[in-house]
Structure 1
């Protein structure tokens, strides 16, 4: 099962859709999370289930032990291979996380890094940041406008040698300059950008990213410079562990914990590791894992409603380069049947998610799927016939120019049984319209790096998390530039979708922006890019006594306040 936690500040992180979550109707969760039964959850803003405790109630010292979904090779979160939930979270603890979000999704400057950050002009849009003069990197240099400038120059997309996760927001910036002194930064936008607080977060040091070589290769298997309350203790590839320890040079409030330990565990092993008191939290999102964890000794269940969705993505190669074929598959897949499969053992019904950009609990959500994924096998058959894929008979594989219509659904070998059952169901559905679908199991450790990142799939299912604010999701549907696919692993896009998303990201009026985002979403459904399934609440088992830490939501974790109750 997956235990990745959402990290704010970068493009949405991709994580395996192998912990299929409870979505329980009724009252929204809240409070301390001290109970031992699942709370009823409805998607809602402003709720946080993390056992909130004042610092006086928290012990000094102690260790937080966390599972890692896979070994982290690339530590630069701005680089295309570095944008995974676990890695991004760790980087926000060891680098300069200049903004935090609260449970309603509102951004607040982190006083350890910024004394202020505000819009000082609207025509053009200018943001003035004033850096806390105490803030320093581990190489002794003060944080300055040079760090902001380096992040912008690496991330604005103008130099293709920087292999980016996303250029969204940075490509709208026309200049980054020194203000009254080196600790005052003036960022000027050529076009308005509504979600400016999401940029430069976390901030990385100019010394580590100023050249493409440093940006792409300087953070592989190491974190060369830090600037957070914690620093790297050890990175042990042999033991598959990473430890963080408090940085004695940290100028802010002292962290309560004196050690964070991360250990790579196969998805199937994490539940047992929690039961064996080897890790301090684990996903309880599937019926199986919840059944094992709800009564765990020294455990509690905590719930949240983050930006988190489960979907099936199409590749853009071979037969699937044809939009009509992708649309046909959209009519051949019965979403409601797939959702029932993952509902087995869970006493509620998942509701389909009909939007790629908004979650159901966000203002602006509307259902845009329309007829594009309406279950209509006859329509699918007709479309394939029209495209020249001829059927030799019912249940047999179609061919075109002598080639069979054979596709591959790539799944992780660490997937929960429900995920494997879902893939098998899709296989059966496509067989009904003459498509042979092979279900290929691959190593969970290679799933993203060797398959999803490289676009080596026809169908694949994973979760996208943390696409909030909305502009950070632009990268997932952005037109690739050369070898850089941003977050769009399918490599499917159109100039119209690209334009609508960028217009929306530059629209300061949230109502007008939502209209543009929804126009883009309608076109994404038509494109046959992704079949959305459902929004995934966060349901986790957490060790009793762990304070200010729990199920992820729109708020991020303030690691300075996490610790063990007295």
Structure 2
């Protein structure tokens, strides 16, 4: 969900100035093919999609593709808070998107709907002129035009509270929308410059949905009277868990190859069974299921695929392996065991009929450091944690066994290959045990700090509380809560948590990013990681201040600070530095727990102790991340083409609320500064591509130096599909081209 950055060499004259995450852009350009080598070197290389790409003449006409989704969508309105990945998939197939992302995560004009889109005036106000495809019509025969744009703007502008909208970024900057020289032209005038205008009106809903609050809030939850895409909406069968999309006979573009696209609800932990039973043709899967498919295929798989101890096993050997250990026991147990193994072997035989397509997802997993209170409120301690990490080793832990590139992300706001990408991690510095120890020492955390303070004189309050032994590490859990105490399970329905996609919206870089105001523990009496805290970069600094690339004040220990020799834990005032590390406990979260264990060992080397607490997946995000009930945690953020808009709520400085809590928006680390906010605001209003990149680069450098979020690796994307499925699989950044998806001829 987000991006923009500052170039150091020439830039492609035809590129979009991708200045943000999910809500707008800058110059409407038709192509990116002419970009220079300098730009490719600057942005890096995006992971290639793995979709069995084929020309349309190689794809059969007709057929039904069954595609697994996590759950049936609770709404078909992508602008509502409970929109999820299924909502996004349906919208992509049946509704207009004026701009879509290419394989490098860069916005591209969609010629099926827009012949041209460009900024035609900058002074006195920004004006964007859309020239629509003259063939574009809704399924009811009405022309797509200005009335649809006007209705969506009014619904999403935030001026009418009767509309239950999840976001209005960009729409609130529109002053008016008018018809141009003819019915096919739409002129949008902004009250103030908006760099990310290309993110607007994607998807575009018919005015029937957006012109009235009742229609917007309830009318589009279970149906759409009019659509405009290669498919139209067919039956939604919530009991059977299927949403059927049917080839649109009114589609003016290249005809959809498939007759039907059936989205089938299959929970992540049931995907292997569904594939083996032939209930779906394609499904995103976890590493465990990928391993099973690779094991079933055996030598047919090339190197780099997940390995499996089951590879090459025959049904008889599997049955024998399951039966022998139990042969001396209960006969019924032996029979049950044999049946279980036989079922597994049968499933493995069926899984031979699938291939695993793999790429890197447009999202990264980070180590989040909660800077609201405790030791991590001190920026020096956060930086010490960050400098102790070997991010390359952590990335390799997850990606190398899958044969995927394991280069740690260098930006919070874009991923390699995107127009906004620049590696700004130098603002924090590379892994260095000595530097980490020096930062801790500067913050007062040393091995000597574990000694108990000298006894206080009679009548003094000093030393009244007992300090722990140097060899003991007390829990850092909040007061009143026992270390390791379980959390009540509840549906979080939020962002990407763990290494499985959520059943919810944000992953929705495509959905636009739900704006959530998360509750936080009362802030009274707590020190916040806001300007004025140690290491803050806001001291008398204006938004126009110039920063040298990779050089941020406070990112390193003060010159001359000696790194102490650390044989064990470090402490202060007799208390060890111990952090509560919250991890999910579910069966799909093994990679996260493996990464968490390595992080704990890396921190141990510099004297930081961790208390790993495993909690139920259902409450991991809502009960811990969003509520601030953690010191360290692992979760992911999506990345899109519009960081100035969509990344701002993720990294904006939290503001104290009247009730003493923090208004954190989506900044669950509670770490932010006024200067970062200013840079985002300037970038969102900057129509010059190079200047916008520079502002976002500087914001990212500041985010690195603040050390509230440490990107570790881009998430793997694994998709199981029948070998005959073409133009679908692990898409990476690219938006699916639904009309090209189908089956191999013959």
The normalised TM-score by structure 1 is: 0.77
Deviation at 1:268, TM superposition (A): 3.2
2:200 is matched with: 199
Q: 1:88 to 1:348 in 2, by over 3 A?
A: closer
1:4 is matched with: none
Distance 2:377 2:214 in 1: 37
Q: Is the 8 A contact 1:168 1:474 kept in 2?
A: no
Deviation at 1:565, TM superposition (A): 1.9
* TM-superposition CA deviations, 1:117-140 (whole Å, max 9, x none): 233223333211133455444566
Q: Please state if 1:311 is matched with 2:388.
A: no
Distance 1:181 1:419 in 2: 55
2:651 is matched with: 477
Flag structure 2 segments of 5+ consecutive residues without an equivalent. Answer: 1-17, 24-42, 302-350, 451-466, 482-577
1:396 is matched with: 473
Q: Please state if 1:418 is matched with 2:418.
A: no
**How many residues get paired?**
528
Deviation at 1:398, TM superposition (A): 6.0
Q: 1:189 to 1:323 in 2, by over 3 A?
A: farther
Q: 1:532 to 1:562 in 2, by over 3 A?
A: same
Distance 1:452 1:74 in 2: 25
Q: Please state if 1:522 is matched with 2:685.
A: no
Deviation at 1:314, TM superposition (A): 4.5
- Which piece of structure 1 moves more, 131-140 or 395-404? 395-404
Distance 2:142 2:581 in 1: 50
1:58 is matched with: 59
2:555 is matched with: none
Q: Is the 8 A contact 2:72 2:243 kept in 1?
A: no
Of structures 1 and 2, the larger Rg is shown by 2
| 1:174-253 equivalence runs, <5 A | 174-210=175-211, 215=216, 218-220=219-221, 223=224, 226-253=227-254
1:75 is matched with: 76
Q: Residue 77 of structure 2 aligns to a residue in which SS?
A: coil
Q: Is the 8 A contact 2:50 2:357 kept in 1?
A: yes
1:297 is matched with: 352
Distance 1:340 1:476 in 2: 26
Q: 1:50 to 1:351 in 2, by over 3 A?
A: closer
Deviation at 1:150, TM superposition (A): 3.3
Q: Normalized per residue, which structure has more strand?
A: 1
Q: Is the 8 A contact 2:22 2:199 kept in 1?
A: no
2:676 is matched with: 497
* TM-superposition CA deviations, 1:160-195 (whole Å, max 9, x none): 776655444334433322223554211123443344
Flag structure 1 segments of 5+ consecutive residues without an equivalent. Answer: 1-7, 14-41
Distance 1:282 1:383 in 2: 51
Q: Please state if 1:322 is matched with 2:399.
A: no
1:355 is matched with: 411
Deviation at 1:440, TM superposition (A): 0.7
Deviation at 1:532, TM superposition (A): 0.5
Deviation at 1:373, TM superposition (A): 7.9
Q: Residue 147 of structure 1 aligns to a residue in which SS?
A: helix
2:118 is matched with: 118
2:255 is matched with: 254
Distance 1:222 1:426 in 2: 47
Distance 2:477 2:717 in 1: 44
The normalised TM-score by structure 2 is: 0.60
2:152 is matched with: 151
Distance 2:628 2:240 in 1: 30
Q: Please state if 1:438 is matched with 2:495.
A: no
| 1:338-349 equivalence runs, <5 A | 338-342=394-398, 345-346=401-402
Q: 1:348 to 1:375 in 2, by over 3 A?
A: farther
